[in-house]
A = this chain, B = another copy of it.
């Protein structure tokens, strides 16, 4: 039998989806499962988008330009200009989701064996994108006790080798919800310039920023024109996960030209998705205000309610719709599986994403789990209640311990 490639063998299974069979079995038994494990928002897609899809009036669904429709790229450039990012449409390439954006950016910049430093916990799929590019991820650990703030730059410095080619951040972060401050980004800029590295910034949650905080993009920083690469997506912004439309933004001309070669090879991003993405640009500000109000309400409820459960540590994140929490259990992989296979409370249970899959350092995150507060308040109430009851009876429960955490909203 012919063999699988080394990178194929090394690809991790999705830590987010590996519990799915247990959830399916629970549902078959008649147990209601509250999904706090995935980032599929329940927020409705903008009406402008649905109208555009239903109004599709061409007779042939054709390829677009490999970099995406020019009209859409021009609108995207305008959107970035409104954020103080001075780019034109040739500095934006439309991709098949943020996933393709990051995978292509890594392929265009990283050689076999090169290293990318990423603060952990991080979005687990970064490992697969790096593997696909032949590169390795080197984690620098952020701590729950610090609310998952940027680790000290001295920790990054210790990890830099001749193979280090890039630093990757997610801002605000999946899975922690942490929003990097301008000062933190400036510290990253300095080390990036010092070592001549790429700075990839996944900013797909840019609009989800709370408590009056302001999002700073790496493209807003002076001096990073040749180094900064933004990965973006309409998936979360407009609750359009299924259209698979994202983009890469960079002022580095050589990178954009190289990306276009890969883009031409795969012909074009999805045409219907681009129609959706372009229509979404007309979404009124009131949509975001409403969505943000809803997420703040959910975040406040979830973080307060979880913090009241003995032994649970829950930093209050400044953005996105995730929180990484610490549970009074020895092994959250076991606990999350047990929740689905052995537990129910009033006919319901809850599904969380064990955090071990978000850490690259073996053994870290064993007591942590990621929650996505993408459900209605009523459902969140029941989900938290399930978790509380579960922790009362879970055989692997640890004795309560004291913890201090830095909450971002009070920082």
Contacts of A56 in B (CB 8 A): 50, 53-54
- Find A244's partner among B5, B96, B129, B252 (CB 8 Å cutoff): B96
We find that the number of chain A residues with CB closer than 8 angstroms to chain B is: 81
Main secondary structure of the interface of A (DSSP, over half): loop
How many angstroms between the C-alpha atoms of A149 and B64 in the bound complex? 33
CA A244 – CA B266 in complex, angstroms? 9
Known: A132-B107, A242-B270, A270-B272. A226 touches B265 (CB 8 A): no
Within the complex, the shortest CB–CB distance from A137 to chain B, in Å, comes to 13
Closest to A128 in B: B265
Q: Mark A97-131, 1 if CB is under 8 A from B, else 0.
A: 10110010001111110100000000001001100
Give the Cβ gap from A4 to chain B, nearest Cβ, in Å: 5
Q: Among residues 46 to 75 in chain A, which have CB atoms less than 8 Å away from a CB atom of chain B?
A: 49-50, 53-56, 59-64, 66
A113 to chain B, nearest CB (A): 9
Q: Does the CB pair B244–A269 fall under 8 Å?
A: yes
Is residue A191 contacting chain B, with contact meaning CB distance below 8 A? Answer: no
Q: Is the CB of A5 within 8 A of B109?
A: yes
Q: Which residues of B contact A252 (CB under 8 A)?
A: 1
Specify which chain B residues have a CB less than 8 angstroms from the CB of A5 in the assembled complex.
Answer: 107-111, 114, 133
Docked complex Cα distance between A44 and B108 (Å) = 36
CB atoms of A40 and B62 under 8 A apart: yes
Residues of B with C-beta under 8 A to A241: 61-63, 267-268, 271
Kindly state whether residue A12 has any CB partner on chain B within 8 Å: yes
Cβ contacts under 8 Å, A258 to chain B: 4, 8-9, 11
Assess whether A165 is interfacial by the CB under 8 Å rule: yes
Identify the A interface with B (CB < 8 A).
1-9, 11-14, 17, 40-45, 49-50, 53-56, 59-64, 66, 96-97, 99-100, 103, 107-112, 114, 125, 128-129, 132-134, 165-166, 196-198, 226-227, 239-244, 252, 254-255, 258, 261-262, 264-273, 276
Q: List 5 A-B contacts (CB under 8 A).
A: A7-B107, A9-B258, A11-B261, A53-B56, A244-B267
